[in-house]
A and B are shown apart, each in its own frame.
Chain A
Amino acid sequence: MTVKFSALGAIDQGVGAPLLELAGVTKAFSGVVANDAVSLRVMPGEIHAILGENGAGKSTLMKLIYGVMAPDAGEIRWHGKPVEIASPAHARNLGVGMVFQHFSLLESLTVAENISLSTPHKARDLQRRIGEIGERFGLPVDPRALVHSLSVGQRQRAEIIRCLLQGPRLIIMDEPTSVLPPTGIPALFETIRKLAAQGCAILFISHKLEEIRVLCHKATVMRAGRVVATVDPTKETNETLAKLMIGRDIPRAPRTPPRPAEMAAMQLDSLSYRPDDPFGTALAGVDLSIHPGEIVGIAGVSGNGQRELAAVLSGETVLPSAERQRLAIDGRPCGNLGPGARRRLGLAFVPEERNGRGAVPEMSLTKNSLLTAHGDGMVSRGMIAFGRARAFAERCIAEMDVRCGGPSAPAHSLSGGNLQKFIVGREIRLKPRILVVSQPTWGVDVGAAAAIRRQLVELRDGGAAILVISDELEELFEIADRIQVLFRGQLSPSLSRQEASTSLVGSYMTGGFLGGATRREAVPA
């Protein structure tokens, strides 16, 4: 199969036959209708955004198009002919490719070897073609490089090339910019535009309204499983798009000045740590203090030590006894305490991974409440008070607007964003004195993200010390009272809200603080 090079300008969407058409596609899961009579048309060469809140049904829709699931009703037409897409392999053979949000590359193999796994060709024969495709679409990546040595951006390029080798006419991209540093995004967009110019259609899933407006020709907005509008995003504003998406205005987190206390609630004193994981990032001389009543943001491109820092703070990585004073809670050396002991000192933590770490996928939300909230009166004489656990879960579901089948629903039945809301809600409801949050709104839509941020600010105003580790600069600018940047395991000097401009933080994200600023102090804003 070869990519059909369309002579049509991508903007002439009214002309020609649609590539993909969905008519009245419906899919329900045990009572919850995820897609309700969804209709959609994608023309060749069109960059088509799918926009919607969490649980709006975007993921389900993509799964239906990519053959992971079959619709209950409705029709999918490909080149005008009805098809039943039986499996992702079938979808790929039809010409539908997908670039996943989380990469599916094996770290210990080279790029070419990884790609050969999904094609009948040998890695050696692929090298030239990888080069060619890379050349043509602006995707430079060395086919002989081992994947673990690649940056996130390079990995994403490898994924896209793998997808392109199958000659797709439609590529589904699931939140492709969420893993990239701001500087990597224009290159990706350039690639996407080149693809579109050659006739390949792109389904672009993103919740970043700005990107959709800059990149996409058309946007299908979904809400609660239905298509509420199909618009030309270039003619919309962020506000109008957001309003369509959530059906009301987005509540902004109110900004009140922080009133940080004198003494740090949690402090790191020139902490260095080398993880066992050979692909991990070593932390080098990290000084950090979080004071009650402030939100500290940690920015940086992912993979620069965020994961390691979070594990050291949460206690999942325990420091050797000799270095226990490197981490202090309320001035007390705590580096050698495990997560349970730190929680008893008032620490709560939201990890980056939701399934399997922040929650047990197989267990109900009630049982997942117990995971960290068990100290909240849910255990009496060693036995679980299920009534209380259930009540906690119900409260958390209601207050965080978690879309799910109730407290008995297993965690893996929730969409990523909804599980995130549940976990963040659970940790906030523990009324921690210190809260460490990794990616608080990862995969969460605009409306819910705003709610989470508002709750974090409320918690801060109640006197909690909060650390937010996030890839999203916008988010940190919105809620953090001061920002520090992680680069290759080193932490930049602290920047107050006034000092933290996009350009300064951006330069810090590529190590700009390492030159002159060798001594740094953590100053509360």
Chain B
Amino acid sequence: MTRLPFIIETRTHRRPGFALIAPLVAIVVTVVAGLIIMTALGVPPLRALYFLYAAPLSSLYNFGEVLLKMTPLLLIAQALAIGFRAKVWNIGAEGQLILGAIGGSLLPIWFNDSQSTLMLPVMALIGMVFGMGWASIAAWLRTRFNANEILVTLMLNSIALQLLYYLVSGPLRDPAGFNFPQSALFPDAAMLPVLIEGTRVNASLFVGLAATVLAWFFVERSMMGYRLEVGGTAPSAARYAGFSEAQAVWLSLLIGGAAAGLVGVFEVAGPLGQLQRVVSPGYGFAAIIVAFLGGLNAVGILFAAFFMAIIFVGGDIAQTAAGVPYQVNTVLQGVLLVSYIAARLFVDYRVRRRVPPRAVEAHA
């Protein structure tokens, strides 16, 4: 029997403020990692720091970009966190987002010259229904056949992407678009109003903030949120109290699907203005990181989404200003998640050296 030279044990007494340590450590590690990677790519350290973390906040336009990218992260992460607290692992927000974008694009494509004020709300509704529909495949397979929702939602992402490729190169392609794989441009009635002149921030920001408030009330104050949490922390206690597991699975996945679907609509009705082959720079995946970085807590997620949006925008700026490959962005997201998980180990557990038995025996 081989033994590790150290012992890992649960911390029983946690001081207040302890919850902040892991995300802060993760952020510091990510900043340092960004610095190292950029320096390795030939960017002077200070300039690298500036591009990645200061430039996104340096001008109104850039700040607008941060808010623009924060909104989808915020919306999806709030919804995913509700499911994650119930230990329902929806990794398929990206696919649900794509389905939402497809669903939301139908009206503006089919009624391209409509000026109806109902257009946008109905688009949002259809997008949410599409997202929920996609998520409910996983919910049904899980509750009916006990199929693992992580695998199902993950695979549905790929299917959603292929479905999008097919639609934008075929049925939904703009007939007047020189065979480019994209839809017609949306009419004004289908576009989200821009909030601040000179930026691209749009009204979806309010929806994201409202979702944060809603999520907080749902998690902290509603009976349904309580049931989900019990199901996640103590499944036997949930069974004992008669809280249905199937209900928790369905609800978690539907909430995630609705939020991701709504974000899909906001993307096509916001910065994109049409349905394209690429509707998301990976918001569905990044939101998983945001949810954890925020400690699955509505307020924490708000800050986490803001930081993640800075990484997104900083990566963009570094790419255009210094020719750094866009993949730096993805690497930094990975660093953020891994360092957060690693830091959580040290926050939740105490790691200490195993006392070598012989040494003790000597003075016994």
Chain A contact residues, CB within 8 Å of chain B = 1, 29-30, 86-87, 89-90, 93-95, 116-117, 314-316, 338-343, 349, 351, 353, 356-363, 367, 370-372, 374, 379, 382-384, 386
Contacts and interface: CB of A to CB of B under 8 A. Distances in A.
A351 B354 CA distance: 37
Contacts of A94: 360, 364
A95 B244 CA distance: 49
Nearest to A355: B234
Contacts of B360: 89-90, 93-94
Interface residues of B, number: 26
Contact of A362 (B233, B241, B242, B357): B233
Contact of A379 (B1, B217, B223, B236): B223
Contacts, number: 88
Given A357-B237, A363-B233, 5 more contacts: A339-B242, A357-B236, A358-B237, A359-B234, A383-B223
Nearest to B240: A357
Contact of A356 (B234, B241, B244, B357): B234
A314 B222 contact: no
Nearest to B235: A356
Interface string B209-241: 000000001000111101000100110110111
Interface in B226-272: 226, 230, 233-234, 236-237, 239-244
B1 A116 contact: yes
B364 A93 contact: yes
A367 B241 CA distance: 13
Given A343-B242, A370-B226, A1 B233 contact: no
Nearest to B7: A87
Contacts of B239: 316, 339, 357
A362 B10 CA distance: 13
3 smallest CB-CB distances across A and B, nearest first, come from A340-B242, A339-B242, A357-B236
B355 interface: yes
Given A338-B242, A340-B242, A341-B242, A360 B222 contact: no
Contacts of A89: 354-355, 357, 360
B197 interface: no
A384 to B, nearest CB: 6
B5 to A, nearest CB: 13
A382 B237 contact: no
A386 to B, nearest CB: 8
B224 A360 contact: no
A86 B355 contact: yes
A374 B223 contact: yes
A360 B237 contact: yes
A356 B236 contact: yes
Contacts of B364: 1, 93-95
A87 B355 contact: yes
A358 to B, nearest CB: 7
Nearest to A350: B240
Interface of B: 1, 7, 13, 217, 221-224, 226, 230, 233-234, 236-237, 239-244, 354-355, 357, 360-361, 364
B223 A382 contact: yes
B244 A1 contact: no
A337 to B, nearest CB: 9
B241 A339 contact: yes
Nearest to A357: B236
Nearest to A341: B242
A338 B244 contact: yes
25 contacts: A29-B13, A30-B13, A87-B7, A90-B355, A95-B364, A314-B240, A338-B242, A339-B239, A339-B240, A340-B241, A340-B243, A351-B240, A356-B236, A357-B239, A357-B240, A358-B240, A361-B233, A361-B234, A362-B234, A370-B226, A371-B230, A371-B237, A379-B223, A382-B222, A383-B221
Contacts of A353: 236
Contacts of A349: 240
A379 B236 CA distance: 22
A93 B361 contact: yes
A382 B224 contact: yes
A260 to B, nearest CB: 28
Nearest to B242: A340
A358 B233 CA distance: 13
A357 B7 CA distance: 28
B226 A384 contact: yes
Nearest to A368: B237
A91 to B, nearest CB: 10
Which one of B217, B234, B244, B357 has the greatest number of beta carbons of chain A within 10 Å?
B234
Given A116-B1, A349-B240, A372-B241, A357 B234 contact: yes
A384 B222 contact: yes
A384 B240 contact: no
A346 to B, nearest CB: 13
A383 B224 CA distance: 8
Contacts of A372: 240-241
Contacts of B1: 116-117
A94 B224 CA distance: 52
Which one of A90, A95, A349 has the greatest number of beta carbons of chain B within 10 Å?
A90
Given A94-B364, A363-B233, A340 B357 contact: no
Nearest to A118: B1
A41 B242 CA distance: 49
Nearest to A95: B364
Contacts of A379: 223
Contacts of A314: 240
B237 A383 contact: no
B17 to A, nearest CB: 16
B75 to A, nearest CB: 22
A468 B260 CA distance: 50
A416 B242 CA distance: 23
B16 to A, nearest CB: 12
Contacts of A383: 217, 221-223
Nearest to B361: A93
Which one of A94, A340, A371, A382 has the greatest number of beta carbons of chain B within 10 Å?
A371
Nearest to B239: A316
Contacts of A339: 239-242
Nearest to B225: A384
Contacts of B357: 89, 93
Contacts of B7: 87
Contacts of A29: 13
Given A87-B355, A383-B221, A360 B242 contact: no
A371 B138 CA distance: 28
A340 B7 CA distance: 41
B87 to A, nearest CB: 13
Contacts of B236: 353, 356-357
Contacts of A117: 1
A115 to B, nearest CB: 12
